[in-house]
A and B are shown apart, each in its own frame.
Chain A
Amino acid sequence: MRHCMSPLDFSVEELDELMGLAADIEKNQQKYSHACDGKRLATCFYEPSTRTRLSFESAMLRLGGQTLGFASADSSSAAKGESVSDTIRIISGYADICAMRHPKEGAPLVASLHSEIPVINAGDGGHAHPTQTLADLYTIKSLKGRLDHFTIGLCGDLKFGRTVHSLISALVRYEGVHFVLISPEELKLPSYIREDVLEKSGATYEETESLEKAMPDLDVLYMTRVQKERFFNEEDYVRLKDLYILDKNKMQLGRDDMIVMHPLPRVNEISVEVDDDPRAQYFTQAKKAVFIRMALILTLLGIQVDKNIPQPSTEEGGSKC
């Protein structure tokens, strides 16, 4: 049985396959609409999340499966003090696969050690958020046509931003990716990512505090939110949250074929006026996340849909909903 704890759980070849499957699902959605008939996804969310939970639920529903779960620790047995290992043993009897978000880092790994069903890490504290990374990789691959030989600017909270850490770890496995790390001194990429991941892999990178200076060189700009919940000190948060705001003026400095990504939710780091710019792809990114999660669910459940089966008609598939 296989779990998904980190994007590095998959080899580059396996990731290619996963993204190929996601692309096929995106193109031929109807073909997969009964792939998970009779299967159940448990969404165990110990901390609030709109996007990730609904994205997982949407993915399972689109595959013809069903979902059950809870949306906060308060509405689960965790409030009574139940351990993660006990909870997953129970959930294993109720569902076929589980997506777990937990504020404590490593909780999904603990769950996977006691689970009888595949567990997907849907975000654990500041540690990892592998399906966000899979969505990021799939978006770049879909929109830029490749995952090698490009320059990516990562901007904002690079210290606590788990999506950034995971994305860097995943991208260093591809050739010729140049990283531009844009952040204030206080939110710089932690040394263990810089030294253990970037430098060890031989990837090239530069650090800067100026988004304006970095803009003209970027193929991809990945913006992040300064997250209030990662700070112990309110003063630091207030001081740092408005440092980078991407607006129309800054967008003018970027190339025509650059894309702007964001793991969402955004607060004010991307001005609403940027949304209409064709280079703004963060909503597309959220949409594509559903397809890669569908591909992941199918892969972990070991379900294969014959790619050569012709698509059923819309009427036939529509009756499921």
Chain B
Amino acid sequence: MLNISGIHEGYVLDHIKAGMSMKIYDYLKLGELKDATVAMIMNAKSKKMGHKDIIKIECPLGSIDLDIIGYIDHNITVDVIKNDTIISKEKLSLPKMLKNVIRCKNPRCITSIEQELDQVFVLTDEKNEVYRCKYCEEAYSGK
């Protein structure tokens, strides 16, 4: 049995679909976080999911964008930890807008040539989880 100690302040992302944790690590830009310690538990046994991934992040609260996790998978649970105790469980929902999280793949889109233009996607269909580029309105299909 693998044991990873609890964290003093930060977040525990649980119920991540097995194999998805590296993707989440990249989306959250955890590698760029200074003063953060990250533990990734992959393919852990789960009664509910069969197998799952877990990410534990020891970092000051407020330093990660929970909205992005909502976009990746709003079934992920987020425990917010302070002074070694869970102070809240965040309920995730699909963010209305994503800024610089995903890139437009339409070669005809202005984002392909305009310098330093933010990549902005807007949630246009919540039921089917469709995001469209703010500029060319092409639906994002690479999730």
Contact = CB atoms under 8 A, between A and B. Distances in A.
A125 B135 CA distance: 12
Interface in A74-89: 83-85
B33 interface: no
A104 B109 contact: yes
Interface in B12-29: none
Nearest to A108: B110
Interface string B103-122: 00010111111110100000
B135 A103 contact: no
B134 A104 contact: no
Contacts of B78: none
B108 A126 contact: yes
A230 B55 CA distance: 45
Interface residues of B, number: 19
B108 A125 contact: yes
Given A105-B106, A106-B133, A127-B136, A83 B124 contact: no
A273 B112 CA distance: 44
B142 to A, nearest CB: 16
Contacts of A102: 110
B101 interface: no
B112 to A, nearest CB: 7
Interface residues of A, number: 17
Contact of B110 (A110, A126, A196): A110
B139 interface: yes
B71 to A, nearest CB: 20
Given A105-B135, A192-B139, A84 B125 contact: no
Contacts of B125: 196
Interface string A141-175: 00000000000000000000000000000000000
Interface string A93-111: 0000000001111110110
Interface in A58-90: 83-85
Interface in A99-133: 102-107, 109-110, 124-127
B137 interface: yes
A83 B113 CA distance: 8
Interface-central residue, B117, B125, B135, by most chain A CB under 10 Å: B135
Interface in A249-295: none
Nearest to A111: B110
A104 B124 contact: no
A107 B108 contact: no
Interface of A: 83-85, 102-107, 109-110, 124-127, 192, 196
23 contacts: A83-B114, A85-B114, A104-B108, A104-B112, A104-B113, A105-B135, A105-B136, A105-B138, A106-B133, A106-B134, A106-B135, A107-B114, A107-B135, A109-B110, A109-B134, A109-B135, A110-B114, A110-B117, A124-B110, A124-B136, A192-B139, A196-B124, A196-B125
Given A105-B108, A107-B110, A110-B117, 14 more contacts: A83-B115, A104-B109, A104-B112, A105-B110, A106-B135, A106-B136, A107-B114, A110-B110, A110-B135, A125-B108, A125-B136, A127-B136, A192-B139, A196-B125
